[in-house]
Structure formats: C-alpha cells, structure tokens
Structure 1
Amino acid sequence: MSFNTMIVQSGGPTAVINNSLIGIVDGLTNHSFDGEIYGAVGGIYGLLHEDFISLSSLSASERYQLRWTPGAALGTWRHKLIEADLEKIIQVLKKNQIRYFFYIGGNGSMNVAKMVDDAAKHAGYELIVIGVPKSIDNDLIGTDHTPGYGSTAKFLATSVLDVNMDMISYPESNGVTIIETMGRHTGWLAGACSLAEDYLQGNSQLLIYIPEVPFHMETCLEKLTNAHKEKRNTILVAAEGIRKENGQLVCDDLAYDALGRPKLGGVSSYLKDTIEEQADIKARYMTASVWQRSSMTLASKTDVDEAYKLGIHAVLLAHAAYSGVMVGLKREESDEDYDVSYQKIPLSQVVGKEKFIPENWYNQKENTMKKEFKSYASPIIQGEMVVPMKEGLPIYQRVI
C-alpha cells in the first residue's frame, strides 16, 4: 500500500531553506517514492486548514531554480500549538495517508516536530517524523551549525567590509557606525562580523557585543571616545538581545509576538542616541533586518550544499524507519580540509535548549571574537553562488 509525504517549512525564512525542501523532494524521487509529496502552504497553517500543494509534479528545472531562491517557498507561520491543534493535525495526516512527515525549522519548530511525533504515537498512528534544522541564529543544539547561518554570516561580514570602505572614504573620519544583527539570546551572528576584522582598512576599530556577555555602556563609551580622539573610525556590532549585568535588555521597550516572545530590535537606535548624548560623537546606525537572512547573491555555497544534503539524509533516516529524530551536521576533526558528516539526534535531546557561544571564544577586554570562533565560522561561509539573472535582477521561483 502506497502512502504520502508531508513537508513543512516553519519559523523565520533563510536564504537556503528551500535547498532542504528540494533535498527532501529529490531524495524521495531518487528512491522511487510512489506516493504523493505534499507541501503545507503557510507552514503549520496549511496543516491545520488542509491547504497543501503537490511537490511531486515539480520539474527538474523548477526544483533547481528553487535552490537559488531565498525565503520559504511553501510559506511559513508562527503559531503556538494547543492540544486541539495536535488532534486536528493527526486527523489531517490520517485522512491524507501521510506516513512521512518532514519538519524544517529551528528551536521552536523542533519542539513542534516532537509534539507531532508524540501525538501520533499516543493516537496509535504510524508516522515517521524527521526534523530538519534551519536557523540563521545558529542556536540549535545537536548540529555543529544550522543551515542559514553560514550565508547570513557571510552577508554580515561582507557588510562590515563595505561599511568600512565607505567610512574611510572621508579624510580624518572618526565616526561611529552601529550595525544591529539578529540574535535574541546568542551572538553567533554578531560574532560573524569578526571574520572581516583582519581585512579592515584605515586603522578602523571593530567592537562586537553579544548577549552571552553583559554589556557595559561606560566601557563602550570609553573605547569610542579614545578612537575618536585618535581619528579612528569605529564599527560597533550589537546583537539585538544584548543585556546589562542584571540581565535586563539594553533596549527594553518591547512588544510581544504570537508565541509570547518579546519582539526585539531597536538597540542600535538606542546606542546611537546614547553615544551622541553622552560622548558627543556623531553616530549612525543600520539594521540588517530581513536582508541578513534573505540575500542569495551573498549566500555561502557551503551553506547551500549542506542544506540540500540535510534534506537528502532526512529521507535516508525516514527510509530506515527512524522517527522522532533530527538530522544534524557533525564536523569532522581534521587539521586539513573542512568536512562534515550527517548524524541523527533524538528530538527529545534538542527541544528546550539553546547553543551559546563558548565563553572562551569571546575577548571581553577587546570586545571581539577570538581565533577559536573565527576558525569555527570561517569554513561555513566559503564558496559563492552564481544566481541566474534577467535584465540585471535575480530570477526566483515560486510554488504557491
């Protein structure tokens, strides 16, 4: 008896999330899967409202085009599940004879995948549930790094270089440019900006502030003032979730999202105003916002390829009848070329946890990242994507 597959994209989009989607589709197709391959339109929304699209009919050309298309091709949705939702999802999966269930996402999404796996077991429904990691924040445990992080890291490090070249265009410039990155509890993205440090020109100063280490305004202002007197530019990188010694957010004027989490953002504006008021130094700020997670033209080829292969390996786990697991990346220990293998980890060991930057990877005195961090992050940003263009603009593919 044949059965069908459901693929869901969840959480914030990335530049490479569609590669995992197509990796799953290609993995099933290459193994002569004879059932229907469905995609849930709008993530969990599609599951709850039975809004699916067939991915089985995608041509090889359409699948290939999706590999250089950023954003979630199936659509995504943030929603806090309740018990009734889980019951509805199992009913929908049964009705449509879904036996393979692939859930692409980050921390919260892996929790949803586990909830669906648990609900299916409780209902006595035979369902294979595989989590496929995705997160630009890189805070998911069970995997050396998450697809999406490498491309965002490359975008941010490149942005630092671009900003630096702009700043040194002005003779005797000694201004401050603040770059705000995403990063609610972790500083993996802010830290990635350190990859540009060795290439900065014009004697510029790079300061990086991450949520894992308390932020001290007085020390920051002192460093900015010293650089200003020495006619040096400063690029100040701040993760949106940086906190004071007491754990309070530096910028705590907050609203809340659908999951009850504070909506962060605005710390760069706060820092600019404080620097100008207290140090009398001209400052400007910029937020990378969704650009940092949606730029395919600056995507890492390593990131793209790993995202795709994770989809392939997710299918292999499903065929081997593993369920309630996430497929992850394991970095191979080597003094030579960077390489990864693919592993499985129980979802129960992933949910409710976050991966933080090791304390000894951050230089608290200089407020920048140590060589251990750079050695970790540098291989992930390697390689360039060649994105097809038409009339000077990228050609992207839609499926919904």
Structure 2
Amino acid sequence: MKNAIYAQSGGVTSVINASAYGVIKAALNAEEIDNIYVAINGINGVFNEELADMGKEDPEQIELLKFTPSSAFGSCRRKLKEESEFEEIFRIFDRYNIKYFFYNGGNDSMDTANKIHQYAQKIGYDIKVMGVPKTVDNDLPETDHTPGFGSIAKYLSVAILEGTLDVKSMAADSTKVFILETMGRHAGWVAASTALAKRHESDGPHIILLPEVPFNKEKFFEKVEKTIEKYGYCSIAASEGIKYADGTFVAARGYKDNFGNVQLGGIGSTLANLIRSELGIKTHYAVPDYLQRSGRHISSQVDVNEAIEVGAMAVKYALEGKSGYMVGIERLMNSPYMSTTKLIPLDNVANETKLVPPEFITEDGMFVNEKFIEYALPLIEGEYYPPYLNGIPLYARLKLNRI
C-alpha cells in the first residue's frame, strides 16, 4: 500500500485550498496512490498523527475547496531543527505507509520539505517529497511568480482605488492623506501591486513604499506635500517591512514569530502619526491584515487556475519519480498570457527571498515603472467568483474525520 500526505504551512492565501484541490483530486485519481491524507495544522498534524482521509469526504465539499480561502486544514509555523523530530516523522510515515509527501507553503515551508527529503535520502526511506508553492509575498526564487500573489494584488488594487476615491471626496476641508498598509516583510511585491489601479496620473496610489528602498522621512514628506499641492490629496501604499537606512524596521513590534521572524505591524499608524505631527495634515489609514490574503470573493482567475495546476502537477511529478523539488511557474508569453510548470530544486528555494528588482522601481524609489506593470498585470486578469448562498459566499465545510 502506498499512501500520501498533503499539508499546508505558513501564512495562508485566498487560493491555497485551490492547490489543495489540485493535489487531492490528482491523488484520488491516481492508481499508484491508495489513500490521500491531509495532516491537520501542517507538519504538526504528522507529529500528532492527526490525519484526515480525503477519500471519505463529500465530493461536493472537495469541489468547494477551489473557492475557499485561508487554510481548510489548518496551518503552522513550525521549524524543524532536531534529529529526533525527523526520527519521529519517519516513524509515523512508516506506520501509515507514506510514500508521497506534498508540502504547500513559502520559503520556510520549502525548508521543511527540503529537510524531510534530505533525511529520507540519508536513511534510505523511499518517499517522494514535493513542494507546492504558496505565498502572497511573491518572494520565492526561480519561479516567475507564486500562487496567492495575483489575488492579493487584485484585492489591494481595488482597495487602493476605492480608498483613493474616498480621500479625494473629503480632501477639500478634511482628510488629505490615505495610507493603505500592505503585507511584505522583506520584499515589496504586494505593495508594488497597488500600482495596477493607477490608470490616470491623478489616480492613487501616488506613493509606494517598498522594503527594497531605505525609508527617507524628508524625501517622503516632500513628495506628500507636492502631491497634495498638485491634486489636493495623496494616496499611499506602504509595505509593513519598510526599513530605515540602518536596516531597522520602521514598524517592528519588538517580538518574533515561531519561524524567528521579527513581528511587523502598524506601518500605517506610524506613517499617519508622522504626517500629522510633522506636516499637520489629517490622515487616515487602513490595515487590511488577514482580509487581503483571504479575500477570495475577488480572486484572480489566473491565480486560481495556476494554484490548482501546481497542486496537480506536484502529484504528476511525484508519480514520475521526482523528489526534492518545488513546482515552479514559467511564463511563456504575456499577451495572451500563458504559463507552464517546471521543477525547482528545494535547495534553491528554502529560506531564500526574491526581491523586487531595481529595474522595476522608479528613480526616486517611491513607485514602480512600466516594467513592473507589464510583469504583474496579467496575473490579476479575470474573476473566479465563488458560489453564493443568500448573498454570502459558499465555502467548503469538511468533516476532517481522523483516521
């Protein structure tokens, strides 16, 4: 008997369950795989032997995974370090005859998958390990982009468009500055994507602050004032991870998450306070937080389709005997947009970060150029609306009965 485990790890996206759907459907249809289990709460579900048999789920609910945001199976931020942890994982793999392992996540999750692959080689355990890419941050190397990015880009582009219209309407004698705080710890892809909303010169955003460019208060204040002078208002997209020239985060919370990353948050309020105190201008800010990465009601059709494809292809590649790889996306053309998948060694992805390249950023460091627009625009194309019931999206409700 040959069984498979699929699990989700790290911060979620609005299309991570579309990748789960791709994996699960492909595994259920594969003669070589007897059972496809899902580990509840990521790799923790393996340790706790909390495994749900997808073959016993209602097929209609599995179909709804394509439309369901966040993690339908629970995620985690556990980083594997000790030899004893790997011994325990493979003891459990052996108990349940696990011959395929699919881990759906970002940089740190690919590190986990890579370590499991390497340990299997070390002890001679026959298992195929495949990484399934996921991160709204779009910062995984060697893949053109990452499932999750297109949808957060679409969500935030709409948000900045509508927020700018609001501040424009109030600017005559009230609020003149609107700040949209976006995710993005080290890479500014998410904040940069708000530029897709800008069709005319006066449209927001007028300023985009990226982690790749050191934050300079004086230049920032100068651009805010000039923008208000020109249009009467100023709309700003700011990445949570922007830093001063000395490398310190502008909005660090002072503690770390379970992966050891400095916890960020509050760049919107930090900048708003700076503008109020230094320039005396009334400022509003918005913090989409979880909403931006779980806003499935407005996901990109391209993003959903590719999320499903990378999941299905992970199973296909594993059945072909491949192991120790992440499924990447290769862009074939922009107009019409076409892509295919490719294999990327997990060694090349684990703990690595792809930054917004300098050639995508304007000379003043506070916006992106046409090269970025050309890159990102195809990724937000199309809508893949979920079914609605009584005016509210209908999302999957799985039994997740433990085996």
Per-residue deviation, residues 350-381 of structure 1 (Å, max 9, x unmatched): 11311111101101327211001011110000
Name the aligned partner's letter for residue 28 of structure 1.
A
Per-residue deviation, residues 96-135 of structure 1 (Å, max 9, x unmatched): 0000100100000000000111111122211100000000
Trace 1:61-80 onto structure 2 (pairs within 5 A).
61-80=60-79
Residue equivalent to 1:245: 245
Residue equivalent to 1:349: 348
Percent of aligned pairs with the same amino acid: 36
Residue equivalent to 1:81: 80
Shift in alpha-carbon separation, 1:205–1:211, aligned structure 2, 3 A: closer
Looking at structure 1, the residues matched to 166 and 105 of structure 2 have their Cα atoms a distance apart, in angstroms, of 36
Aligned partners of 1:178 and 1:238 also within 8 Å: yes
Name the aligned partner's letter for residue 239 of structure 2.
A
Deviates more, 1:59-68 or 1:288-297: 59-68
SS of aligned partner of 2:112: helix
Alpha-carbon shift at residue 225 of structure 1 (Å): 1.8
Shift in alpha-carbon separation, 1:382–1:252, aligned structure 2, 3 A: same
Looking at structure 1, the residues matched to 358 and 37 of structure 2 have their Cα atoms a distance apart, in angstroms, of 43
Residue equivalent to 1:177: 178
Aligned partners of 1:156 and 1:192 also within 8 Å: yes
So what's the TM-score if we normalise by structure 2?
0.95
Aligned partners of 2:275 and 2:283 also within 8 Å: yes
Looking at structure 2, the residues matched to 206 and 283 of structure 1 have their Cα atoms a distance apart, in angstroms, of 15
Residue equivalent to 1:364: 363
SS of aligned partner of 1:244: coil
Trace 1:242-281 onto structure 2 (pairs within 5 A).
242-281=242-281
Name the aligned partner's letter for residue 193 of structure 1.
T
| 1:319 to 2:319 alignment | yes
Trace 1:13-162 onto structure 2 (pairs within 5 A).
13-83=12-82, 84-162=84-162
Deviates more, 1:177-186 or 1:357-366: 357-366
Residue equivalent to 2:386: 387
Looking at structure 1, the residues matched to 122 and 196 of structure 2 have their Cα atoms a distance apart, in angstroms, of 48
Aligned partners of 2:100 and 2:318 also within 8 Å: yes
Name the aligned partner's letter for residue 101 of structure 1.
F
SS of aligned partner of 1:160: helix
Alpha-carbon shift at residue 31 of structure 1 (Å): 2.9
Residue equivalent to 2:296: 296
Which runs of 5 or more residues in structure 2 are unaligned?
Answer: none
Shift in alpha-carbon separation, 1:205–1:62, aligned structure 2, 3 A: closer
Deviates more, 1:61-70 or 1:27-36: 27-36
Q: How many equivalent pairs are there?
A: 397
SS of aligned partner of 2:102: strand
SS of aligned partner of 1:341: strand
Shift in alpha-carbon separation, 1:225–1:23, aligned structure 2, 3 A: same
Alpha-carbon shift at residue 34 of structure 1 (Å): 4.8
SS of aligned partner of 2:340: strand
Alpha-carbon shift at residue 231 of structure 1 (Å): 5.2
Which runs of 5 or more residues in structure 1 are unaligned?
Answer: none
Alpha-carbon shift at residue 239 of structure 1 (Å): 0.4
Alpha-carbon shift at residue 244 of structure 1 (Å): 1.2
Alpha-carbon shift at residue 199 of structure 1 (Å): 4.9
Residue equivalent to 1:228: 228
Shift in alpha-carbon separation, 1:335–1:126, aligned structure 2, 3 A: closer
Structure 1 stretches of at least 4 aligned residues deviating more than 4 Å after TM superposition: none
Name the aligned partner's letter for residue 369 of structure 1.
V
Name the aligned partner's letter for residue 256 of structure 1.
K
Alpha-carbon shift at residue 217 of structure 1 (Å): 0.7
Name the aligned partner's letter for residue 372 of structure 1.
K
